[in-house]
Structure 1
C-alpha cells in the first residue's frame, strides 16, 4: 500500500521514476536510489483504475514481482509491509517480524497433489545474523486475499504455524521462486489476529505506527545487507 511505501521513499531518499521502470498497462509505481553502495528499487502495485484504491492481494503482488524481476534483475527481493500478528506467537502491535517461510491459507483445493499446491508452503532465505543484529521476531507468514478470515482459513494458518497473516507475501514468493531470486520479508504488526477486536479497526488505528516501525527497520536492514553475501545474512 502507498501508506506503507511512501514513508520508506522519504527515509531512503528515493525518487519516483518517471516513467515507471515497469511499463504500462501494469499500474506499478517505482522509486529508485542508492544507499550504502547498493541500488534500491521500491515497487508498489499502484492504484486500481476502477475503484481508486491500492491494488492489494496476492494476484497484484505476484504480477508486480514478476514484472519487477524481469525489469530490474535484483539480487534480492524484500517484501516489506504491514500485517496481522498472532499473540500466541509473541506478536504485539508495532513488532517487526522477519519471515522464516511462506504459505497460503485460502487456496483450498481438496484434490490429490493440488491440496499441497494450494498451500504452496516454501521457506524464506535464512537471515539469522540480520535478525540478531536488528532484534527482530521471526515466524511463518501466511497470505490470503481477505482482511478477515473464516474457520477454514484459521485451521490452515494454525497448520502452517503462522505468526503473521497478510495479503501479499505468498504471491511474491511464487514469483521470486520462478526466477530463482532469494526472498526475505519484513512485516510490521498492525492488528492481533487471535485478539478480540475486528482487524479493520486495529489496522486503521495502528497503520501509521506500523509504517513508522518499518521506516525505522528497513534502512538499517539494507545497511546490514550491503556488502555481504547471502550466506552472511
Structure 2
C-alpha cells in the first residue's frame, strides 16, 4: 500500500521485502462486511465457522476458515450488532476486525470484497465488478494544512495488474464514508477523489493494512447507481442478491488465480 497518490503503485510494491514478494501465498483473509455478501463464498469454499480465541471474548465478529487447493482461506465479518441485530457495517468495525485478524493470522494478503455504489458518469453499471486502484475517505473533512490530506487518507491498493488483465475486471477509484446516502459535502469530496465507486469500509481496511504492512486488494460489485434516478437504499436492496452472485464469482476466480502464486505474480 502507498501512503500518498504521488507514489505509483509499482514503487510501493517494489518497496515490499523482496523475499515476501517471492514467497508463495499461503494465508488469505477476505474481509466482508455483510453476511449476505459472505455466505455464498463460505458455501462455495466449504468453510467452517471457527470458535477460537482469535477475537476478544464477547465481540460479535465471525471467522470462517478452510483449505482450498494450497490456500488457507479466512473470511472475517464484523457480525451482527448485539443490540439491533443488523450487520455491523462501517469504518469503525472494519478497522477493528481487520486489525485483530492481521494480528492473529499474519496473512500474506487481504481481500476486501463487497458491494458498492457506482457512478454511471464514470462508467459503472449494476453488476459490474471492479478492482479498486486507489482508496480514500470522503467524509473526514479537516480544512487545516496537512490534516486535510490526512482526512482524505488516499492510499493505493496493491498492484494486481495480472489479476486485472487475466480476469477482465474493471478498474476504478474507491471512496469510503460511513453513510449510505450522499450529502452535498460528500459529493464534492467524492468528485475530488475522482471516484468511480462509493462504499463504507474500503479506506478503513486500507489504513490498517498499510499500518501493519500487509498487501490488500479491493473487489467491489456495483449494487446501485449513485448518480442515477432511483433511491440508493431501494436500489441496493433490490439488487443485493444478484450482484452478490457476481461478486462471489469474481472472488472465486481471483482465489483460483492466486493459488500457487507469489505476490510478485499478481
TM-score range, shorter chain: over 0.9
Tell me the residue number matched to 1:152.
185
Give the CA deviation at 1:20.
6.2
Tell me the residue number matched to 2:211.
178
| 3-state SS of paired residue (1:207) | helix
1:132 aligns with 2:165: yes
Over residues 64-114 of structure 1, what are the superposed CA-to-partner deviations in whole Å (9 max), with x where a residue is unaligned? 100000011100000000010111121111110001010000011111211
Q: TM-score, normalised by structure 1?
A: 0.97
Tell me the residue number matched to 2:196.
163
Tell me the residue number matched to 1:86.
119
1:29 aligns with 2:62: yes
Aligned length, in residue pairs: 233
Equivalent pair of 2:137/2:154 in contact (CA under 8 Å): yes
Over residues 196-229 of structure 1, what are the superposed CA-to-partner deviations in whole Å (9 max), with x where a residue is unaligned? 1111010000000111011111111011011222
Task: Tell me how large the CA RMSD over aligned residues is.
Answer: 1.0
Match of 2:96 among 45, 63, 66: 63
| 3-state SS of paired residue (1:223) | helix
Which one is further off, 56-65 or 11-20?
Answer: 11-20
Equivalent pair of 2:54/2:100 in contact (CA under 8 Å): no
Spell out structure 1 runs of 4+ moving beyond 4 A: none
Give the CA deviation at 1:25.
3.2
Q: TM-score, normalised by structure 2?
A: 0.85
Q: Which structure 2 segments of 5+ residues have no match?
A: 1-33
Equivalent pair of 2:124/2:196 in contact (CA under 8 Å): yes
| 3-state SS of paired residue (2:196) | strand
Match of 1:193 among 196, 204, 226: 226
